[in-house]
């Protein structure tokens, strides 16, 4: 046999032996309690959204920068990178510049002013929770509902004055 054949056979045997000596990990571990919220997260998100409303199809892009719960910066652009809006917010102040109408909206980023501006019932803290993939409520308020081992999912729930909040972990 030539040297190349010996090298191929040796590599095959090494791979075969390393696979056969792998340690089995046993059963899957599922979380039964939610982790605490991330407080000092610095996050940069770049996303593209496709919007379809009846006969209207459009695309928007967003660049979002977070620094914990202290501040958020969001820039929305339309097709071809044309800027359409900018949002800057800190704990007690936000400014949204609508470039289409050349109007600046300012206020306190509480639930009422954000709801009036964005037509969504959320506050600045709720928006940051959504972007961090975290629940609105404290993780301690959630109870374990079920674990589906076949699908690998865990369901939590929390009863609030506004209804029930569910979290599904996969």
Per DSSP, the three-state class of 152 is coil
Q: How far is CA 81 from the centre of its chain?
A: 23
Q: Which has the minimum average pLDDT: 86-100, 117-131, 144-158?
A: 117-131
Q: How far is CA 125 from the centre of its chain?
A: 14
What token pair was written down for 137? 């409520």
Q: Which residues contact 104 (CB under 8 A, 6 or more apart)?
A: 95, 96, 97, 98
State residue 16's pLDDT score. Answer: 46
Query: How high does pLDDT run on average in the chain?
Result: 77
The better pLDDT of the pair 43, 3 is held by 43
Whether the CB-CB separation of 27 and 51 falls below 8 Å is answered with no
In this predicted structure, the answer to whether residue 95 has a pLDDT above a threshold of 80 is yes
Query: Bridge-partner residues for 96, per DSSP?
Result: 87, 105
pLDDT in tens, 81-93: 888 899 898 888 8
pLDDT in tens, 18-58: 444 445 555 667 777 777 777 777 888 898 888 788 888 88
Residue 33 has phi, psi (to 5 degrees) of -140, 140
The pTM score is 0.62
Query: Bridge-partner residues for 94, per DSSP?
Result: 89, 107
């Amino acid at each position: 046999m030539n040297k190349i054949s010996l090298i191929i056979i040796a590599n095959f045997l090494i791979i075969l032996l390393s696979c056969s000596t792998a340690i089995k990990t046993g059963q899957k571990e599922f979380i039964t309690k939610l982790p605490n919220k991330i407080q000092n997260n610095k996050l940069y998100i770049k996303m593209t959204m496709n919007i379809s409303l009846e006969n209207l199809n459009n695309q928007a892009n967003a660049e979002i920068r977070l620094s914990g719960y202290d501040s958020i910066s969001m820039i929305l652009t339309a097709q071809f990178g044309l800027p359409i809006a900018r949002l800057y917010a800190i704990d007690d102040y936000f400014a949204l510049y609508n470039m289409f109408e050349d109007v600046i909206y300012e206020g306190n980023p509480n639930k009422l002013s954000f709801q009036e501006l964005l037509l969504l019932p959320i506050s600045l803290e709720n928006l940051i929770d959504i972007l961090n993939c975290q629940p609105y409520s404290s993780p301690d308020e959630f109870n374990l509902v079920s674990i589906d081992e076949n699908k690998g999912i865990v369901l939590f729930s929390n009863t609030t004055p506004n209804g029930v909040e569910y979290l599904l972990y996969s």
